[in-house]
Amino acid sequence: MSWSVATVGHTGTVEETRAALHAALDERCGPFGYPAFLPAAISRPDRSTIVLGMDHLHCDAHSVAVAVEELAHLYAAFAESGEEPSLPPVGSFLEAVSQGSDGPARVAADDPLLRGWGDFLAGRGHRLPTFPLPLGLEPGERAAQATAVATLADADLMDRIGARARNSGASTYAAVLATLATAIADLGGGDRLDTMAPVSTRSAQPLTRSIGWYTTTVPLTVPASLTDLGLAEAGDAVRHGVRLGSVPLDQVLGSLTEPLVQTRSDVFVVSWVDYRHVPGGSSHLDRDAQHISASTQADDVQIWFSRTHSGLAVRIRYPDTSVAAASVESLLDRLRHTLVDLSRQPDDLAVLRID
């Protein structure tokens, strides 16, 4: 591959810059073209912004973090010495695909994990999970996508939540899922939350810094409970879901006794990325690294939780209707309060009951 530099031209306002960048990304970052990515720079008198656009078909969230780390490392080396630095060895996504190491291997037809998938879907009438709060859409209707981004907790609160989760035999991720289930239940949802969740398939060390699609999707059923028992059950649900991720999705679909029913074009997904543990995670805040997704159409809700050294943030993609906006706004408010409730240790709760 050979690279060339194209100057888009001078823009005089933020809106003009945004429009020019948007057009360039749309032109170059299609899923089936090549290259399906675009490196760009916005130069100003006092500073520059580096943009790397990539189609989601070709890279996962971990890959975005890897790209940010390598770009920053390369930039610093060239700026300081003008010499190309050495980067850590990295595995090739294409080689991983050809060797079958990019994802799970097929299992036996009677494998209990395959039955676990069947039980989850059969219990829902073979319907994929949908967001349980009102969205203001008729069946088959879609709307323009809206996005809500919010900070939910600072680092101190998340440390307290992590301690509470560990004492209950759960991960922080599982505890946040229990918080989400509880917040949704408080707003009219059920006592259990069904959702799908992406999990990483990067099982080998050389793939840690590889850029590609190392992701599968698993089903989760999480109780709407912040008790120690509820957190323990949420932890079990996450561990069970991760185990189900060892079954290839095409094998899951091929094993179904009834056709899969998808009542919406989108699927209700809850994602979790702990950026403290990805390459360059300790430097992302200083670099002001931002992960931005394109806006399309939507008929369901998708939630991305991001854990960083500064705390917990969330990005929610939802249909741009007044009903959906009200549901999301209420959910964000309940999440903040419920996270505080979750952080209280059992002794704190006992004191509150006595008072």
Evaluate whether 129 touches 287 at the Cβ level (below 8 Å).
Answer: no
Reduced to 3 states, what is the DSSP secondary structure of residue 18? helix
Q: Is the pLDDT of residue 235 over 50?
A: yes
Evaluate if residue 347 carries a pLDDT over 80.
no
Q: Residue 341 CB: number of other CB atoms within 10 A?
A: 12
Task: Round the average pLDDT of the chain to a whole number and report it.
Answer: 89
pLDDT at 353: 41
Q: Does residue 9 surpass a pLDDT of 70?
A: yes
Tens of pLDDT along 214-227? 899 999 999 999 99
Greater confidence (2 vs 205) lies with 205
DSSP 22-54: HHHHHHH--TTSSS-EEEEEEE-SS-EEEEEEE
Domain boundaries, the chain: 113-354
Q: What are the pLDDT digits (tens) for 42-65?
A: 988 888 888 889 888 888 888 888
**How sure is the predictor about 355, in pLDDT bands with cuts at 50, 70 and 90?**
very low
For residue 13, the model assigns a pLDDT of 92
Contact 321, 312 (CB under 8 A): no
pLDDT for 26: 87
pLDDT-derived band at 277, boundaries 50, 70, 90: confident
pLDDT in tens, 67-76: 888 888 888 8
Share of the chain above pLDDT 70, in %: 96
Architecture of domain 113-354: 2-Layer Sandwich (3.30)
pTM of the predicted model over 0.85: yes
Q: Report DSSP state, residue 246.
A: T
